[in-house]
């Protein structure tokens, strides 16, 4: 796992899904008039000058998501694959707001022909955009060993049980955030899922009863869906595609609550470091 994929609240599945849904309303059909690259290293796999000439004049066809990665497909048979990492932001700016929204953390600007634009901000600069041929996207994600999408219909309880069978000696929380196991879950939602299922983050897979696995599965789907409903968690720098904070923070049950009373049992929430990540849990009601 990449070391930058750490402690604080980087965008996970619900945050990137929120941005995806919003951008499908905001930018599909718009034509890119001009691209401004202010930080060349944010563009990977291609020289900035080639990147500009390849995408200037193209039209946005579709916005999609794979795990924590945003995909903007253009009508030139290429897609922009955007990795947010720790502090990436993708924000749509209506024409009147351009000057007040662009700042020193804006590294890439796509200007549309109606004078709106899409900006790519990144404070810590771990994120990047890669141009990938649209018909090679599956190959790209397979090459990076992306695990299954937890909100897809084919991610059934049966499939989850099958996946867990292969990992008997792993601990549940680090396994949930392993992107090759399942795509899209990170440090925030893995803690919320364990709390919801009343399972200790350190539990070994082989010690889980059928009922535990069912609970984890149910909580996983429920929490991700609910967070999307509230446009994600802005515990750090995450903003949605309108530049607004997500509303899920007040709904967090355990993440960031160390030293506070457990909402469920009144016990004290503890924090440990597990596989190099800060992890909060309630020792009284998670077993």
Please provide residue 149's backbone torsions phi and psi, each rounded to the nearest 5 degrees: -85, 120
Q: How many CB atoms lie within 10 A of CB 124?
A: 14
Which one of 66, 173, 257, 277 is the catalytic residue?
Answer: 277
Dist CA 84 CA 47 (whole Å): 20
174 given a catalytic annotation: no
4 given a catalytic annotation: no
**Nearest alpha carbon to residue 173 among 205, 144, 143:** 205
Looking only at residues 135 through 194 of this chain, which bind Zn ion when binding is defined by CB under 5 A?
none
Which residue has 């497909």 as its token pair? 73
Interface pick for Zn ion out of 196, 208, 220, 282 (rule CB under 5 A): 282
Q: Using the 8-state DSSP alphabet, how is residue 144 labeled?
A: T
Dist CA 258 CA 237 (whole Å): 20
Which one of 30, 65, 66, 68 is the catalytic residue?
Answer: 68
Q: Which is nearer to Zn ion, 249 or 268 (CB)?
A: 268
* Contact pattern from residue 212 through residue 251 relative to Zn ion, giving x for each residue in contact according to CB under 5 A and a dash for the rest: ----------------------------------------
* Contact pattern from residue 246 through residue 265 relative to Zn ion, giving x for each residue in contact according to CB under 5 A and a dash for the rest: ----------------x-xx
Strand partners, 272: 279
Q: How far is the CB of 194 from Zn ion (least distance, A)?
A: 12
68 given a catalytic annotation: yes
Q: Which is nearer to Zn ion, 84 or 281 (CB)?
A: 281
**Nearest alpha carbon to residue 272 among 286, 264, 263, 85:** 286
Interface pick for Zn ion out of 24, 64, 76, 284 (rule CB under 5 A): 284
Which one of 12, 15, 17, 192 is the catalytic residue?
Answer: 12
**Which residues touch 137 (CB under 8 Å, ≥6 apart)?**
66, 71, 79, 81
Site for Zn ion contains 268 (CB under 5 A): no
Site for Zn ion contains 197 (CB under 5 A): no
131 given a catalytic annotation: no
Dist CA 124 CA 261 (whole Å): 33
Q: How far is the CB of 269 from Zn ion (least distance, A)?
A: 7
Which residue has 């991700």 as its token pair? 224
The site for Zn ion (CB under 5 A) is made up of 262, 264-265, 267, 282, 284-285
Active-site annotation, residues: 11-12, 68, 277
């Amino acid at each position: 796992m990449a070391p930058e994929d750490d402690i604080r609240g980087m965008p996970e599945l619900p945050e990137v899904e929120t941005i995806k849904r919003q951008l499908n309303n905001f930018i599909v059909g718009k034509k890119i008039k001009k691209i401004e690259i202010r930080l060349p290293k944010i563009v990977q796999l291609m020289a900035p000058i080639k990147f500009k000439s390849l995408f200037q004049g193209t039209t946005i066809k579709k916005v999609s998501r794979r795990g924590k990665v945003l995909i903007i497909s253009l009508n030139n048979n290429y897609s922009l694959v955007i990795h947010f990492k720790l502090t990436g932001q993708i924000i749509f700016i209506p024409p009147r707001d351009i000057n007040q929204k662009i700042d020193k953390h804006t590294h890439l600007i796509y200007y549309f022909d109606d004078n709106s634009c899409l900006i790519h901000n990144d404070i810590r600069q771990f994120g990047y955009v890669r141009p990938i041929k649209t018909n090679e996207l599956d190959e790209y994600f397979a090459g990076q060993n992306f695990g299954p999408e937890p909100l897809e219909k084919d991610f059934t309880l049966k499939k989850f049980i099958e996946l867990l069978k292969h990992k008997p000696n792993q601990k549940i929380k680090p396994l949930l955030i392993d992107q090759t196991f399942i795509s899209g879950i990170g440090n925030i939602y893995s803690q919320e899922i364990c709390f919801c299922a009343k399972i200790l983050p350190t539990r070994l897979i082989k010690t889980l009863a059928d009922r535990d696995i069912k609970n984890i599965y149910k909580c996983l789907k429920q929490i991700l869906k609910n967070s999307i409903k509230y446009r994600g968690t802005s515990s750090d720098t995450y903003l949605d595609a309108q530049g607004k904070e997500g509303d899920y923070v007040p709904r967090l049950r355990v993440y960031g609550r160390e030293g506070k009373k457990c909402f469920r049992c009144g016990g004290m929430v503890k924090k440990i470091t597990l596989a190099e990540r800060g992890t909060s849990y309630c020792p009284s009601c998670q077993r």
